[in-house]
Amino acid sequence: MSQWVGNLGSLHQYRNVPYVERAMDGTVACLLCGTGWMNPNARVMHFHGRQHSKNYNRIKEIELKQERERERLKKLEELETRAILCFTYYDPRIAALGLKAWRDIVTVGLYHYLRGGELADADLLMNKYEKMESLSLLELAILKSKAVDGVMFQSTYEIRQQQALDPNFNATAYLRDQRVISGCHVIVPSVAAFL
């Protein structure tokens, strides 16, 4: 700042200074300080003087504050845009994920985005778990249709009940066997290729 106040020496240098007015006869006036028209001697004294520096510094300080405020508002606006996107577009999709661990991972990804990170990272996680979600639902549907075939069991509740009634019956082992028989370990990866 003081550097270019000090540089205001020759008349040529006042040309692009917004607060300096030039008259045809070569005299100048400082609009910042409200001086009258100044001849070369008065001009040099004024622009190197303490009063001018003080006024100039004050203006610069106000400009700096305004600039900081603009930056602060810009950041807030950016944050708001990111928050709206998270709340309206991603939150409902996160809520639809079946596993808490998946919901947590995507939520953490979105927090990073909210703090200035890349949306692509969070979006990648979102799509990954949505895909896994649809595959696991498909797998469950196939498994269920096989395990609850209406012959041995009418519902998954009956499978659990059978374990309580028959000490030789292991529901977990039964479901594992049904999973292999149902072929969903073959079907699901084939379907995954199309997703």
Looking at 30-38, 139-147, 159-167, 171-179, which segment touches Zn ion (CB under 5 A)?
Answer: 30-38
Min separation Cβ 53 and Zn ion, Å? 9
Q: Using the rule CB under 5 A, which residue among 52, 90, 106, 178 binds Zn ion?
A: 52
Number of residues that bind Zn ion (CB under 5 A): 4
* Cα-Cα-Cα-Cα dihedral sign, residues 105, 110, 116, 117: positive
Stretch in the footprint of Zn ion (CB under 5 A) among 31-39, 81-89, 119-127, 136-144: 31-39
Q: Which is nearer to Zn ion, 30 or 122 (CB)?
A: 30
Burial track 111-133 (b if 16+ CB lie within 10 A, e otherwise): eebeeeeebeebbebbeebbebb
Among 5, 11, 17, 33, binds Zn ion (CB under 5 A): 33
- The nearest distance, CB 35 to Zn ion, in angstroms, is 6
Which residue, 28 or 106, is less far from Zn ion as judged by CB?
A: 28
- Nearer Cβ to Zn ion, position 59 or 84? 59
Torsion of CA 77, 79, 84, 87, to 10 degrees: -160
The reply to whether 32 sits near Zn ion by the rule CB under 5 A is yes
Residue with tokens 């079907």: 187
Query: Is residue 28 a contact partner of residue 14, using CB atoms and an 8 Å limit?
Result: yes
d(CA 8, CA 47): 7
Q: Which span sits near Zn ion by CB under 5 A: 27-35, 57-65, 78-86, 123-131?
A: 27-35
- Find the helix or strand (DSSP H, E) in which 16 lies: none
State the Cα–Cα distance between residues 144 and 164, nearest whole angstrom: 20
- The residue ranges that bind Zn ion (CB under 5 A) are 30, 32-33, 52
